[in-house]
């Protein structure tokens, strides 16, 4: 199916961009608080997108597309804050796996309800992709030793689940917003994201380091914006479930970049997940 192939191909470019953004942002977070890295990239990309829309005189979208774009940006920014908080609390591997799976599950379920079941080959690809996300985001964790740690892990997983549902809702809303024009949808998404994150940054008051981390944040924000662009194009080109699940394979790109640049070797589970992800993309492109 041509639509599925285009959605899978564009979704894969989105995954590469998002995975690169997470890798660069992770490097920046070693020099400065993660929220500062994120907000720097979001403000920069907002300025660039707004300038493009105004200089090219692109017609503004309708109210429905604008509301969906702003809701997606707002929900996504809050989900990001919840995700960072969950990772800071511990159980990173299980939290990331749960978040990644729920991120893909929400748009897949929405697409099933809206578009019906896909072809059997694509359905097999969705199942393989879901398993790949779980394997890729798994990391070995130490077992909790006390009831207090077990309680803390439950709270961490709850936050991870909230973040995953928020990211999944954002993917659905970006799909709905893209019908009113991709550039304006991205601009309103960024505007709402910045509006949601600024109070969080103000409340936490993270200290900016003296050494320059700003350029890393700008680079990460640019890659993240490119990921949003190609995801919206993928969602317009074909089924939402195909676009969302392939784009949600972005942790594989982050892991590959870490292995190449930082010598952080993936686990056997992650390697198996990457192989399964490749099979999923091929099945979804059929």
In the block, which residue shows the tokens 């961490």?
A: 156
CA atoms within 13 A on the CB side of 220: 26
Q: How far apart are CA 28 and CA 258, in angstroms?
A: 14
Residue 210's pLDDT is 59
Per-residue pLDDT tens over the stretch 119-136:
888 899 999 999 998 888
Q: How far apart are CA 105 and CA 84, in angstroms?
A: 20
Residue 11 to residues 56, 67, 120, 215, 227: CA-CA distances in angstroms?
Answer: 26, 24, 20, 26, 9
Q: Could you tell me which of 197, 174, 184, 204 has the C-alpha nearest to residue 18?
A: 174
Residue 38's pLDDT is 84
How many helices (H) and strands (E) the chain has is answered by 11, 0
Q: How far apart are CA 4 and CA 118, in angstroms?
A: 10
Per-residue pLDDT tens over the stretch 178-233:
888 899 999 999 999 999 988 888 887 777 665 666 788 899 889 999 999 999 99
Mean pLDDT, consecutive 10-residue segments, the chain of 286 residues? 80 93 81 81 93 92 92 90 73 72 90 89 91 82 51 74 91 90 93 90 76 80 93 92 92 87 84 91 84
Sequence-ordered list of residues with C-beta below 8 angstroms from that of 194, at least 6 positions apart, any chain = 39, 42, 43, 46, 77
Q: How far apart are CA 38 and CA 44, in angstroms?
A: 10
What's the pTM value of the predicted model, to 2 decimals?
Answer: 0.87
Residue 74's pLDDT is 93
């Amino acid at each position: 199916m041509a639509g599925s192939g285009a959605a899978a191909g564009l979704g894969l470019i989105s995954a590469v961009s998002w995975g690169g953004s997470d890798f660069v942002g992770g490097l920046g977070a070693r020099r400065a608080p993660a929220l500062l890295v994120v907000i720097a990239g979001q403000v920069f990309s907002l300025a660039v997108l707004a300038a493009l829309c105004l200089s090219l005189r692109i017609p503004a979208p309708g109210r429905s597309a604008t509301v969906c774009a702003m809701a997606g940006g707002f929900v996504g920014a809050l989900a990001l804050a919840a995700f960072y908080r969950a990772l800071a609390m511990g159980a990173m591997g299980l939290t990331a796996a749960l978040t990644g799976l729920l991120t893909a599950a929400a748009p897949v379920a929405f697409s099933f309800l809206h578009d019906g079941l896909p072809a059997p080959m694509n359905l097999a690809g969705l199942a393989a992709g879901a398993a790949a996300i779980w394997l890729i985001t798994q990391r070995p964790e130490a077992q909790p030793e006390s009831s207090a740690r077990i309680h803390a892990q439950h709270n961490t997983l709850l936050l991870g689940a909230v973040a995953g549902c928020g990211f999944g809702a954002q993917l659905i809303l970006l799909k709905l917003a893209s019908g009113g024009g991709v550039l304006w949808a991205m601009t309103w998404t960024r505007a709402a994201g910045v509006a949601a994150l600024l109070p969080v940054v103000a409340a936490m008051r993270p200290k900016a380091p003296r050494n320059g981390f700003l350029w890393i944040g700008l680079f990460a924000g640019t890659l993240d914006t490119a990921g949003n662009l190609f995801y919206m194009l993928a969602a317009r080109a074909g089924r939402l479930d195909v676009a969302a699940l392939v784009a949600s394979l972005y942790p594989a790109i982050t892991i590959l970049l870490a292995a190449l640049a930082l010598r952080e070797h993936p686990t056997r589970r992650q390697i198996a997940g990457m192989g399964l992800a490749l099979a999923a993309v091929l099945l979804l492109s059929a």
